[in-house]
Structure formats: C-alpha cells, structure tokens
C-alpha cells in the first residue's frame, strides 16, 4: 500500500488548459433570470453563450437577452447607460466619455457605463430642450479631471 501513495505523489498533476481570454470587443450587455429563485439581473460583462452564476442559488444562468455594445469613436462625448452595483440605481447621460465614470448620486461610487453609443446629431430644425437637466459636474470624472465643464472640451 505504501507504494501506491508513493506512485500518486510522483505522478504529475495534469495541467488544465488555460481558459481563452474573451476579446473585449465581443463583450455585450445581457439580461439574466434565474429559473430557480426568479432573481433578475443585468450585466455589461456578458459574452454570447457564456453564463453567469446566480448570487443566491449559485447555478449558472445563460442570458435571455444579449445586446452588443456599440463602441464609440475616438475620445468623443457619447450617450452612456449606467447601473450602480451597490444600490442598483440606473441612469443615462449624454455627457459620457470613453473610460470615464460618473458618480452614483446615492452612494457616490464612481461607475463606468455598461453601454455607450455615439451621440446622434441634432436635426437643423430641432430646438434645444429647455427641460434638460443641468449636467452634475461634481459627479462627472471628466469634469473633475479637466477642472471645468467637460462639454467645453467637446
């Protein structure tokens, strides 16, 4: 019996193949619903045909709705969609910048957008929206870094 233990310790463990790293450009936005506990969540870190683990049941769930993220051109201002993972607050902003976050108004955590789309140009006969909310500069990472209103660098 002592020989079996020696043989086991001498045999090298099989090295598992390293998982292929998904390309950033294939990342999507996905919606999930656990069939066991009915928990619903959304994620900007979704890849087609890859599941995520339900935090309550710990089972792997495939997304039921997957939308490709549109990649903005260069460093231009974009329309961004945000979701705070801490307090689940959702918001969107026409003052979003690639690789720049906005602070959540509730918990003040800096959040990167889960989806960004190029801004659509206004039509010539389209007026400025007078009901538009002012941009909260104190919550904008780009404004803080520049030291002035980020739209001025646009």
**How does pLDDT run along the chain (154 residues), one tens digit per residue?**
555 554 444 444 444 334 344 445 577 878 889 999 998 887 777 887 889 999 899 999 999 888 776 655 557 888 888 999 889 999 998 888 888 899 999 999 999 888 888 887 777 666 666 567 788 888 898 888 889 988 876 6
Continuous segment of H or E residues that includes residue 68: strand 65-68
DSSP annotation of 84 reads: -
Q: Considering Cα of 153, then 93, then 45, then 90, what sign does the dihedral take?
A: positive
Could you tell me the CA-to-CA distances from 84 to 43, 74, 108 in Å, in that order?
11, 25, 10
């Amino acid at each position: 019996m002592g020989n079996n233990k020696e043989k086991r310790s001498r045999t090298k463990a099989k090295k598992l193949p390293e998982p292929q790293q998904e390309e950033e450009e294939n990342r999507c936005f996905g919606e999930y619903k656990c069939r066991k506990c009915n928990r619903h969540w959304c994620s900007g870190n979704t890849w087609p045909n890859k599941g995520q683990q339900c935090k309550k049941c710990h089972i792997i769930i495939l997304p039921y709705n997957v939308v490709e993220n549109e990649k903005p051109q260069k460093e231009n201002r974009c329309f961004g969609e945000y979701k705070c993972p801490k307090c689940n607050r959702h918001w969107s902003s026409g003052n979003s910048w690639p690789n720049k976050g906005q602070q959540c108004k509730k918990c003040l955590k800096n959040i990167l957008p889960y989806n960004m789309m190029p801004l659509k140009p206004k039509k010539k006969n389209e007026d400025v929206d007078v009901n538009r909310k002012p941009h909260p500069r104190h919550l904008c990472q780009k404004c803080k870094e520049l030291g002035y209103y980020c739209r001025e660098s646009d």
